[in-house]
Amino acid sequence: MTNKSRNSLILAIGIVFGLSLGLGHEVLASKTTPLGADLPWRDAQVLAEVMERVKRDYVNPVDDHQLLQAAVRGMVSSLDPYSAYLDGEEYDEIKISSSGQYSGVGIEVSMEDDQVVVVSPFEDSPAARAGIRSGDIIVSIDGVPVNSAALDDTIGRMRGEEGTEVKIGILRQGNLEPLMFTLKRAKVELHSVKSQLLEPGIGYTRISQFSETTGTELNAALKDLRKHNDAPLKGLVLDMRDNPGGVLEAAVAVADAFIDSGVIVSAKGRTPDSKFEMDATPGDALNGAPIVVLVNGGSASAAEIVAGALKDHHRAKLMGHTTFGKGSVQTIMPLSDDRAIKLTTSLYYTPSGVSINHRGIAPDIELPRQASPEAAGPAGGAQPDKTMVQRDAEVQRAVQELKVSPNTRDATATTAAIT
């Protein structure tokens, strides 16, 4: 082995040591184990050899920092579609996103079968206004094909400075050629809860996603509905169609608003922090009045936590279509120099102990597919002269179900012990 190759190998081994120490203190758990005894030496040698060949023969010059950043990013993103390495800019963006505001086009995406798939556009975002839909496949950004091996790269290219434009190529079922959308990036305000009275006694609350303020927003919305109704509500339509999820604690707060006691969600992982159970606190904001939850294939993650809890406790009926099936929990772990990793640390389970990962939650009442999402979608942008019940067949069906549903206070009391 040449001196250069040997030096690269030492560098590669140092990388593995550094990552091990940075990502988990378990490396130091045993004082009797020689440091690095379990390292895959041959793999480290391959890494060193590849780096040397790339630096020597690649068509454009590349430095160690560029290669190592790519190696770290690839290592984390190869684990699953949701784990990712976050550089300084990406980390800043994810902090802004969780707080309820960022600049971009407003799309939640996932990697499925090596394709970047739209889980759902955020309500009132540039993407939603342009007509991008759940299930669309993103094939290009600004004329450049997406990198199916790097989901965060696709996300980063869609975000940017407010007022700038981005061209997104979409492959949609039923279309042979990609559809091109030119979107102007904007501040995406994540006001996640909207509500209105559908008719006397029947409230409607839409949760578009889960941010840090969602629980507070929901309580305020329910209070406002009671005020406008001038009496307690007789029923509620909780609309979580095309809700891509968000903050776990916000989902727990929403479910807790309607459940008196018992498990809301539990999770299992390898570390103590990744194993937890969250329980409801006493009190039901609707005092047992019936709830119908509208869901579809764009209802994911935190939305599925709420749907699963309300269904398992028999506190609500789910109506619509099977949900997306994202049953994992990601934890943001800060690193040095304002970087972080978003790592899948747990699988979560509904109160009955079921994992919905890759399966979703089937509704209690399956609805026929709507011919036109614009006519029946949660935003209700079409046909503004009509009420929501008139223009949205699924909301109309939910109201009909509420009118024949009994008060569920007794039912929730008998199912509170579900674990």
In tens, the pLDDT along 224-278 reads 999 999 999 999 999 999 999 989 999 999 999 999 999 999 999 999 999 999 9
Decide which of 214 and 7 is more confident: 214
Instruction: Give the pLDDT confidence of 179-219 residue by residue, as tens digits.
Output: 999 999 998 776 789 999 999 999 999 998 898 889 999 99
The verdict on 155 and 255 lying in the same domain is: no
The verdict on 221 and 337 lying in the same domain is: yes
CATH number at residue 179: 2.30.42.10
Q: Is residue 90 part of a domain?
A: no
Say whether 326 sits in a helix, a strand or coil: coil
The verdict on 158 and 260 lying in the same domain is: no
CA nearest neighbour of 138 among 162, 110, 161, 171? 171
Q: 366-388 burial, b for 16+ CB within 10 Å, e for fewer?
A: ebeeeeebeebbbbbeeeeeeeb
Task: Just list the catalytic residues.
Answer: 301, 312, 326
Structural domain tally of the chain?
A: 3
Q: Which residue has the tokens 């045993």?
A: 30
In whole angstroms, give the CA distance from residue 134 to residue 146.
18
Contact 293, 310 (CB under 8 A): yes
The verdict on 118 and 212 lying in the same domain is: no
DSSP 338-372: T-EEEEEEEEEE-TTS---TTT----SEE-PPPS-
Q: Is residue 173 part of a domain?
A: yes
Q: How confident is the model at residue 178 (pLDDT cuts 50, 70, 90)?
A: very high
∠ Cα 21 22 25 (to 5°)? 55
Contacts 24+ apart (CB under 8 A), 93-100: 93/156, 93/159, 94/332, 94/340, 94/342, 97/190, 98/211, 98/212, 98/246, 98/247, 99/211, 99/212, 100/189, 100/190, 100/191, 100/192, 100/211, 100/212, 100/213
CB atoms closer than 10 angstroms to residue 340: 21
Say whether 254 sits in a helix, a strand or coil: helix
The verdict on 305 and 241 lying in the same domain is: yes
| Percent with pLDDT over 70 in the chain | 83
Instruction: Give the pLDDT confidence of 30-85 residue by residue, as tens digits.
Output: 334 444 556 688 888 898 899 999 999 999 999 999 999 999 999 999 999 999 99
pLDDT at 419 over 60: no
Decide which of 351 and 2 is more confident: 351
Q: Which amino acid is at 271?
A: T
According to the model, what pLDDT value does residue 27 have?
A: 33
Average pLDDT over the chain reads 84
CA nearest neighbour of 251 among 221, 294, 207? 207
Q: Which of 189, 215, 230 is the last residue of a domain?
A: 189
The verdict on 405 and 268 lying in the same domain is: yes
The verdict on 149 and 128 lying in the same domain is: yes
Segment 11-27 shows an average pLDDT of 39
The verdict on 363 and 250 lying in the same domain is: yes
Instruction: Give the pLDDT confidence of 124-154 residue by residue, as tens digits.
Output: 899 999 999 989 999 999 999 998 778 878 8
According to the model, what pLDDT value does residue 369 have?
A: 81
Segment 298-304 shows an average pLDDT of 96
CATH number at residue 337: 3.90.226.10
Segment 333-362 shows an average pLDDT of 95
Cα dist. 154→26, 144, 294, 380 in Å? 33, 10, 30, 29
Q: Which of 136, 156, 189 is the last residue of a domain?
A: 189
The verdict on 35 and 122 lying in the same domain is: no
Q: Is residue 74 part of a domain?
A: no
> Which range marks the domain in which residue 160 is found?
101-189
Q: 308-336 burial, b for 16+ CB within 10 Å, e for fewer?
A: bbbbbbebbbbbbbbbbbbbbbbbeeebe
According to the model, what pLDDT value does residue 220 have?
A: 95
Segment 381-387 shows an average pLDDT of 58
pLDDT at 8 over 50: no
Q: Is residue 322 part of a domain?
A: yes
The verdict on 223 and 352 lying in the same domain is: yes
Q: Is residue 292 part of a domain?
A: yes
Q: Is residue 135 part of a domain?
A: yes
The verdict on 264 and 133 lying in the same domain is: no
In whole angstroms, give the CA distance from residue 415 to residue 140.
49
According to the model, what pLDDT value does residue 324 have?
A: 96
The verdict on 377 and 297 lying in the same domain is: yes
According to the model, what pLDDT value does residue 182 have?
A: 96
Q: Is residue 78 part of a domain?
A: no
Q: Which two tokens stand for residue 190?
A: 């994540």
- How far is residue 283 CA from its own chain's centroid? 28
Decide which of 195 and 24 is more confident: 195
Q: Is residue 243 part of a domain?
A: yes
